[in-house]
Amino acid sequence: MFALRRRMTRSITPEIENEIREMVYSYFSEECDVNTDDLHDTTDIIEELEGDSLMLLSLLELVRKRYELTIELKTLGHHLMEKPANTLGQVISLTKAIIQHGNNIVNVQL
């Protein structure tokens, strides 16, 4: 089963990377009532957008559905406890890693 998961990793194409960036920016723009032009990869979700970790889990649930991932939210929560994503750029990197590695994300260094 582990070997099967490894083979199921996905490549992140430039198109997927752009889609992820747009998804993250749009999500936080809508949830935090901020113009997307005011967002940058260095924007701090908690300090600058007054967001919280539940927003991030909600976004990751959307990603799970969009990319038909089987990773459990419990696994994502565990990963975020050890390696928090505080900025939009970190959320984008995390999202790409989740799509690429699935449940094996807990073993990936970001």
Q: Tell me, what's the pLDDT at 80?
A: 79
CATH topology of domain 13-107: 1.10.1200
Question: Is the pLDDT reported for residue 79 higher than 80?
Answer: no
Q: What's this model's pTM, rounded to 2 decimal places?
A: 0.85
Torsion-angle region of 85 (φ positive above 0: left; ψ -120 to 50: alpha; else: beta): beta
**With contact defined as beta carbons under 8 Å apart, do 9 and 102 qualify?**
yes
DSSP state of 44: B
Question: Is the pLDDT reported for residue 44 higher than 60?
Answer: yes
